Every structure is written in C-alpha cells, then in structure tokens.
A and B are shown apart, each in its own frame.
Chain A
Amino acid sequence: MTKLFCAAFLTALLCGNASAQEDKVLNGDAKCTACHDENDGGVLLIGKTKHGTRADSRTPTCTSCHGESDTHMKKPAAGESRAKPDVTFSKNSKTAYETRSQVCLTCHQGGSRVDWNMSAHSNRDVACNSCHRVHAANDPVRDKWTQTDTCFACHKEQRAQINRPVHHPIVEGKMACSSCHNVHGGTPKQLVRDTVNETCFTCHMEKRGPFVNNHPPVQDNCAICHEPHGTTISNLLKQRPPFLCQECHSSSSHPSQAGSLPNGRTTSTSLLGTVGRGCLNCHINIHGSNSTENKATAGRFRR
C-alpha cells in the first residue's frame, strides 16, 4: 500500500511539475510528455517527422497546436473525466474545422496554400487533419503510393474510374491525385495549374500548339472529349467515335454515319467511323495539324 501511494504521489508530482522533466521529442514538450510518453500510443512518433526536427527553430511544441490546455492539465474532480486539450484533432473532435486548420495555417499559409481559404475543401468542412496524419512517421497522403486511400474516402466516383481498363497510371503508383490537383488551391477543380489545359500540358506538351490547323475544342478544354480519371475507351475518351464526334459534328457526308460495324474489309469511309480508331482512322491529327496541303488534309486533321 505504501508503495502504491508513493507511486501515485510520484506520478502526480511528475505530471504536475513537468518543468522538472526533460523534453522527449519536441522542444518544450515536457509539460505534455510527462504523461503522454512512450507508452501512449504513437504520440512520440512525431519525432520522426519534420515537425520533430528540434534543430530547426521553427518547429512547434505540443501546445503550439493543441493550445495551453490548462483545464486538461488539472486533475479532474472525483467522478469526472479529464477535460480535453484546447484543440484536438481526433475524428470526434469538438474543435471547429476552421480552428483546426488555422492551427496549421499559422505556419503553413504561404506557398501553394495561399488560396486555401477560397478552396472547395476549406469551405466544405475539410480540415488539414481530415487528410493529414501529423504524428505519423510517414503521412500516407503525402506518398503517391498511398495517397489515393485518403482522397477516395470522399471521392467515390474517381475510385471506381481509376480501375477502368483505360486510366492514368494511378493504380500502378506512377501518378497520384496531386500530380494534377493542388488540393489546397483555389482554382476551379483545384488543379496544379491555372486551367485544365495548362495542367494537361505539363505532360502532354505536344498538344499545346498553336498549330497551323487548330481544333477549337482542343484549345478550349481537354475535358470536353477526355475523362482523365478513367474510362473503357482508348485514350481516355468520354465516348466512342462516331458518337463523340457527333456531339458537335453534323454533316451531309460520312461524318453523320450511324454507329455500326462492317462485316468485312472495306475502304468506305461511311463504314469506318466506328471500328478501329473510328473517325480517327483517317482524322489522325485530331489535336491539331501542321499540314499545308490541300483542304481535305489541312482543315480536317488528316495530315
């Protein structure tokens, strides 16, 4: 009994006189790590992260993010549970989303996060910790191999699309959502560049032109014809030719043909708008061409 009393007294003394303790992981963390020590789940794992680099004077201590939490420090009255810290980040946190994000923005409001407050995420109750695991040694959302798990928690349609037969190499780990999206940004669709086309051109620069013969919807928006997250049609097309092309084109000639499959070899353009590459069997340079040959080749992207 005496030993138990002494142990309890010692614990209370340590917790209540944290200044007497040494910091364990962050500068000035003794106030918290006196209790939240190596036996408390993964709290100390923050030491493996950039936040845990104590040689960098900019790095925080526990209270930088969780607040001074004086009520949490006080021993609860008998029968009562201990008060939560001032700012918490758990799933059932009572701390408002914007308050949680503001904690991070205190240091991280610059760079690509300048427009965070204007972003769709920010204005739909997504806080930084909705996606980021600050104490984890490796934050899954910052690794392109594991990032999609976080994004697909909300974006269900895209989760289905990336497994379709034609997709960007996301499942294979060569790209991630953040290859195209700045999820902290304020542009429409939260893209890494100012527009859809400028984003696509970062890898598909040959489509930028200007060409001798431009195709206006190509200049307008790649997403008019392409679904970048995945489709069942070659080249990530939203629809197969000739139906895709007939969303804009009506003609007295073969471009208005019905969708059909020929039953044998043919050179009839009226029978070749669906099979193979469809309209693109002949209109090979559909993104624009640099030909100065006669009209049939120049104006119609055939050469």
Chain B
Amino acid sequence: MMKPIFKLTALSAALASGAVWAADEEDPVKELTKPESSVSVGAGYWNRDRPRLGTYDGMREKGAYGLLDALINTRDDRTGTWFKLDARNLGLDTREIRADWERQGNFGVFMEYNRTVRDEPYTVFTGVQGIGSTTQRVPTPSAGSLGELHLGTVREAFGAGFSKILSGGYDFRLSAKSEDKTGDRLWGRGGAAEFAAEPIDSNIRIVEAVLNYTKQALQLQGGYIGSLYTNHNSMVDTALSSGASPFFLSLPLDNQAHQLYVNGGYNLSKDTRATFKLSYTHATQNEQIPVGTGIVPASTAPTHLNGVLDNTLMQVGITQRATRDFTWLASLRSYDSDEKTPQYRVVGPACPGCVDTTPLRIKTQTGKVEGTYRTPQSVSLTGGLDLVKTERNIPVGDPNPAGFDNQRYVPFRSEVNETTLRLEARRSLNEALNGRVQYAHSKRDGSDFSRGNEPQVDLINPVYLADRDRDKIKFVLDWAVSQPLTLTFNVEYAKDKYGTSDARPYGLTDGSAALFSLDAAYAVAENWQVTAFYTRDQTKATQLGQRNANGGAGEAVKEADLQDIGDTFGVGLRGQLMPKVKLGADLLYQKNVNKYPESIALTGPGTVFPVSGAVTGAPLPDITNTLTRLKLNATYAMQKNSELRFEYMHELWKTNDWSWMFADGTPFTYGTTTDGTQVVQAPKQNADWFGVRYIYRFQ
C-alpha cells in the first residue's frame, strides 16, 4: 500500500490502470490496443539528511535530486516486434535501465544496467588510517583528532541476454550478468574489540543457459548456471600505528559454482501430473590462502584449500484429481550438500590448540503427502503429512589425537527428524464470505548429541538441532460486507516448546509468534476509495543459560524473556477532486518494541554484571523504533496525455536503539588506549520531500 515517492508511482499507476487518452480521436480502438509509452521529468528536494531511511534510495543527504524516468514501449503490429526501454531513477544514484528488443514468437535480446547503493546509516568518527585499503592502522590517543567517516557499498551490474524460440516445442535462453561491489562496511580488528572497516572490492558473474521443451503432455527444462565470485582483496593487515599488535584479517576468497539441472513435468492423464527435478552443483574454492607477514602456518596447513562442495538435488512429485471431489499429491525430495574439501591440520601439530578442517555433509530428505476433499457443503478439507530427515556428518577417521570433539564449541547431532501434521478447512460461505482455518503440529527430535570441547558447551540444545514441538493455527476471513466495503481478517498463532533435560537444560526453552491483521477497503464514492490496514505481530522467546564466574561476575543461571512487538497501521486515499485533478494520500505508522529482560540468579560469589576497573555492565532497556510516513500527491491533467504531479512526503523516524551506546546513553567508544573510534546514529530523523514531475504519455 505504501510506496515511497521516488518509485515512479504516477507512471506506474497510470500505465497499470490502462489510462486512455485521445491521442488519436479518430480511432478509439487503437488507443486501447496499441502499447503506450511514458516519460517523467522532474525534481525534488529533501530538507534534511535521512541516514536511516535513505539507506538504499540514493537520497541520504539533504538536497535536490533530479527525477527522470522513461518507459518506451513500442510494437510493430505487422511483425510482432517489440522494443521496450525501461529507465528508472536516472537522476539518482540508484539508476537502472533495461532495453528489450523482441520479435515475439521468434527471438529476443536484452541489455541492462542496475546500480544499488547501501549507505551505512551510522556515522563513524575515527582516527583509523587506511580505511578503504588493505592496510589499516589504529592510532593511540595521541594520534590526533577523529575524522568523520561515512561507509557504504555500491553494486553496479551489467547484464545481457538472448532468447530464441525453436521449432518442435523448444526454446532457448541465455543470460549473463556481471556485478561489481565496492565500498567499505563496519568490521573489526578481530584480535581485539577495535574498529576497522572491511574493504570491499569484488565481482560476481552469473551465466545461465536454459533449454525448454514444452508440449501438451511433457514439459522439460534443462540448464546450466555458472556463478563465479572474485575478490580483489584477500587479507587486511591491521596493527596499531606503532606497529604493535599486528592482526591479519582474512577475507572471502574466490569461489566458483557450476550447476546442471533438468526439471520436468508430464501429464499422465487429464487429472494426473508427475514432476521431477535433478540438479548437480560443483562448487570450488582454491585460491592461495593469505598469510600475514611473520606468521608461520603449521607445516600441514595447505597453501590452497582445494575446497569442494557438491550439491545434489533429486525431487519427484505427483498430483492427481482422483475423483471430482478429491485431489491428492505426494512428493519426495533429497538434497545432499556434501563438502569434499580434504582434511588438513591447519593449526598444530600439538593438541589441544590444534585446528583441523572439518568438512560437513548435510543431507536433507523430505517426504510430503496431502489430500483435499470437497464436501457437498462446499467445504474443502485438506490433510497433510510432512517428514523431514536431516543427516549432518563430519568426517570419521579422526586424525586428531584429541578428536574433533575438542575443537567443537557446540554439541553436535548427526540426525534430526521432524514430522508435521497439517489440517485445513476452507469454505466459500457465499459470494461475499470466504474463510479458512489451518492447524499444524510438528515434532522434531533426533539422535544423541556428541559432546563439545568442554562440559559447559554440552549443557545447551542448539536452536536448529534441538527437540521441538510446534503448534500453529491460522484463521483467515475475507468478507465483502457490502458493495463498497470489504474486510479481511487474519489471525495466526504459533507456539514452540523446546526439549530440555537435566543433563542439557539450556538454550531456547519456548517461544511463540502471534499475528493479527485487519484490512479494509471502502469505496466512498464512484471516484473516491479508502483503504486501511492494521497489523500487530509479536514474538516471544525464553532463553535459559548458565554463566560461570567470569570477568568479575559470579556464576549464575540466566533467563531472558525476549520480545519483539510490532504495530503497523496504514491508510490510503485515492480520489478525483475535479475532472482534471486527482489526489492521493498515504499514511504509514509503524512502531516496533524489542524487550530484553534477563533475570540473573547468582549461584556463586561475584557481581551480577562483570566489572573491569571502573567499568561495569547494566541491564538492557527496551528498544523502540517508530516510523511515520505521510505521502500526499496531486495530479493535474494538463492535456489528455500529459500531467503535472506534485508530491509531498513527511518522514519521521525515531529510535532509542542502544547498540552503539554506553549504559548512560553516551556514544560507545572503542578500547581504552586506542584512538577512541565512535559509531554514532541519529536517533531522530525528520525530513520532508517536495517534488514535482511532468509526465507525458504517447503511443
């Protein structure tokens, strides 16, 4: 419902609604049937900076922005040849343009350019030198004043493609894309909690080739997807400016993946259809492993990882309308992600303290069966059963005398099974009332846990491996109350109960998720419509943990009751004030509250929170984010094919997010002896947009 003003809503709305004008008064049919084009030119102005809300739209800073969009859409009716040029945001840093030329039913080509920015919403004040490079130095406090730094990344993508329809039911598509990503993002020095920025200078390339075969009974799709990642940096050399504390931070290395797949469906009869998919992906990573100056890796450490990951998918399914009132489906799926990287002793040879590579194989097998019966009372009853078996394997034949278990920081479970039973009833009560209710119960358990590297590690049930019972219920009602008024109710509730035991009591113990939503649409008059919605979503989780005496804090049992509560309200108005004047208004209000209450019951001597010199910890306050966005627009039809559009938007965003704050609300400052880098957010952003566009449409 809510769209930011910088999406070309006027253009989209005009074209989507099939706006008609009398470009050719003599031929109204032509007006209705010939593709149309549109150009929009304008300018806008933000009166304040928008660090948070301008993260992705290229308009973070206060100032004027050009607005230029175009959709050129032509068709030669004689040959069926289309030319389409779709250019958006040409006046902004988020510009994109795509050109398609297609002889429909024969062949087509396209080219595209797309630029995506991400401006970091936080401002950094730092003395760290070398940001943007792979050599960064952290000054000591004597280094001087802090400089203001705005981080961000830019993705710049070029793409092209070709398609050809061949005889005999075949068609072929080929596309390629190359995307460069550059910039810097918040990072750290790794060896200590000190500021560094990750330099990003990488490229991804994706090539896809697809051959389709489509006939009435049989459809096949076979193809290749190649995806290649190249990082122009492999390591960052960081140290204090004195040269002390050198830390060499590894970066992602080049990797490649090649996938072959075939996907098909066959209509066994008018009422029965079978489908299948097979795919095989071979991914590798074998770039030279970077080593910092003065670092001597273990003699057994590889210079190149020779990393290999083979993924195999096998999937079959069948659907059938067995009788006029009963349909069913069944499917089997196996996805095997098998890492075949050789085993190395990366760090060693002495254990403990050694590190081996531990290639992981994850095999997930899924079975599903579902049936739907339509009763004479027009109720559709659906029952389904889903089975998921996940096997995770690390290598046996352990070359490490201390064993892999001593290198693992989380207990491991080699097999996890989940069974879900689903029931649903749907009914169209009459033309004005439709409803559905769903219930699902799932149960997850698995094999015994393997221990981790210390007894404390073994006290937890990792969230994605833990036993879990889950119940979900959903109720939806669509109600056309009267001719001008429709309502939609949506209520969902899910409850999780995680398995714990005396021997393994910690981790998530239970959780819930609730959603209530009400949508309304009301036609006030022939040319005036109002829509509105309200959504409340709430998730809760209870998390148990134990803390040994650490950092001055005493041994304790902790219980955190985590909550995330969202309220979203929207209302929109569309209308025609006068024959030449249309008005639109949208209001969005959203409030999110996060709660982090944690009870800490001391079971030994020490303080509740750690103490380090004069510094101690403090409980976490709630975090509240609120967003209010009001958009107004008025469109004046200058002629039947041109209009002026005036836009106004007010944005107000507030937060008390403490992520980068000390307990007293002052900005968090890194370290005690280094430069004192601070990361700061604007807790309140209040900005107004004024825009005007001239829109011209033609055929």
Residues of chain A whose beta carbon lies under 8 Å from any beta carbon of chain B: 24-25, 37-38, 42, 44-48, 50, 52-58, 92, 98, 106, 109-112, 114-115, 117-118, 123-125, 135-140, 143, 145-146, 149, 152-153, 156-157, 159-160, 163-165, 169, 171-174, 186-188, 194-195, 198, 201-203, 205-214, 216-217, 219-221, 224, 232, 234, 239-240, 243, 246-272, 274-278, 280-285, 287-295, 297-300, 302-303
Which residues on the B side are within 8 Å of A298 (C-beta)?
A: 346-347, 355
The reply to whether B553 and A258 form a contact with Cβ atoms under 8 Å apart is yes
The reply to whether B307 and A114 form a contact with Cβ atoms under 8 Å apart is no
Which residues on the B side are within 8 Å of A117 (C-beta)?
A: 265, 273, 275, 319, 329
* Closest beta carbon of chain B to A301's beta carbon, Å: 8
The reply to whether B105 and A57 form a contact with Cβ atoms under 8 Å apart is yes
Which residues on the B side are within 8 Å of A267 (C-beta)?
A: 192-193, 612, 671-672
8 smallest beta-carbon distances between A and B, as pairs: A47-B33, A270-B551, A260-B617, A55-B80, A110-B214, A210-B307, A268-B612, A56-B105
Which residues on the A side are within 8 Å of B251 (C-beta)?
A: 290
User: Which of B229, B292, B623 is in CB contact (< 8 Å) with A206?
Assistant: B229
Which residues on the B side are within 8 Å of A208 (C-beta)?
A: 229, 255, 257, 283, 285, 309
Which residues on the B side are within 8 Å of A209 (C-beta)?
A: 252, 255, 285, 307, 309
- In chain B between 636 and 666, which residues have their CB closer than 8 angstroms to a CB of chain A? 653, 655, 657-664
Bound Cα distance A137, B32 (Å)? 9
User: Which of A206, A224, A253 is in CB contact (< 8 Å) with B463?
Assistant: A224
B417 within 8 A of partner (CB):
no
Which residues on the B side are within 8 Å of A25 (C-beta)?
A: 29, 32-33
User: Which of A112, A139, A250, A287 is in CB contact (< 8 Å) with B460?
Assistant: A250
Bound Cα distance A55, B285 (Å)? 49
Which residues on the A side are within 8 Å of B79 (C-beta)?
A: 55
The reply to whether B219 and A114 form a contact with Cβ atoms under 8 Å apart is yes
Bound Cα distance A110, B264 (Å)? 8
Bound Cα distance A169, B89 (Å)? 14
The reply to whether A256 and B568 form a contact with Cβ atoms under 8 Å apart is no
The reply to whether B193 and A272 form a contact with Cβ atoms under 8 Å apart is yes
Known contacts A117-B329, A169-B118; 15 additional CB pairs below 8 A are: A25-B33, A52-B33, A55-B105, A125-B380, A136-B17, A137-B15, A173-B4, A232-B594, A249-B410, A251-B457, A257-B551, A258-B617, A265-B672, A268-B615, A283-B190
Bound Cα distance A251, B618 (Å)? 21
The reply to whether A143 and B16 form a contact with Cβ atoms under 8 Å apart is yes
Mostly, the A contact residues are loop
* Closest beta carbon of chain A to B446's beta carbon, Å: 14
The reply to whether B362 and A220 form a contact with Cβ atoms under 8 Å apart is yes
B619 within 8 A of partner (CB):
yes
* Closest beta carbon of chain A to B175's beta carbon, Å: 13
The reply to whether A115 and B671 form a contact with Cβ atoms under 8 Å apart is no
The reply to whether A53 and B75 form a contact with Cβ atoms under 8 Å apart is yes
The reply to whether A275 and B660 form a contact with Cβ atoms under 8 Å apart is yes
B447 within 8 A of partner (CB):
no
Chain B interface extent, by class: 35 or more
The reply to whether B250 and A260 form a contact with Cβ atoms under 8 Å apart is no
Task: Say whether, besides A115-B263, A156-B535, A256-B546, A232 and B657 are in contact (CB < 8 Å).
Answer: yes
* Closest beta carbon of chain B to A155's beta carbon, Å: 10
B178 within 8 A of partner (CB):
no
Bound Cα distance A140, B192 (Å)? 51
B571 within 8 A of partner (CB):
no
The reply to whether B80 and A53 form a contact with Cβ atoms under 8 Å apart is yes
* Closest beta carbon of chain A to B439's beta carbon, Å: 15
- In chain B between 492 and 531, which residues have their CB closer than 8 angstroms to a CB of chain A? 492, 506-508, 515, 517, 519
Which residues on the A side are within 8 Å of B206 (C-beta)?
A: 202
Which residues on the B side are within 8 Å of A194 (C-beta)?
A: 277, 279, 311, 313, 335
The reply to whether B359 and A210 form a contact with Cβ atoms under 8 Å apart is yes
Which residues on the B side are within 8 Å of A264 (C-beta)?
A: 614-615, 662
Bound Cα distance A271, B618 (Å)? 10
B41 within 8 A of partner (CB):
no
Which residues on the A side are within 8 Å of B186 (C-beta)?
A: 277
Which residues on the A side are within 8 Å of B118 (C-beta)?
A: 169
Which residues on the B side are within 8 Å of A278 (C-beta)?
A: 659
What are 10 inter-chain pairs, A to B, with CB distance below 8 A? A194-B313, A232-B592, A232-B625, A249-B460, A258-B558, A265-B615, A265-B672, A271-B617, A290-B305, A292-B291
User: Which of B250, B372, B619, B620 is in CB contact (< 8 Å) with A285?
Assistant: B250
Task: Say whether, besides A58-B105, A92-B431, A137-B35, A169 and B116 are in contact (CB < 8 Å).
Answer: yes
The reply to whether B612 and A256 form a contact with Cβ atoms under 8 Å apart is no
Residue of A nearest to B288 (CB): A290
Residue of A nearest to B118 (CB): A169
Task: Say whether, besides A211-B307, A271-B612, A290 and B253 are in contact (CB < 8 Å).
Answer: yes
Residue of A nearest to B264 (CB): A114
The reply to whether B535 and A251 form a contact with Cβ atoms under 8 Å apart is no
Task: Say whether, besides A210-B339, A265-B671, A270-B612, A152 and B253 are in contact (CB < 8 Å).
Answer: no
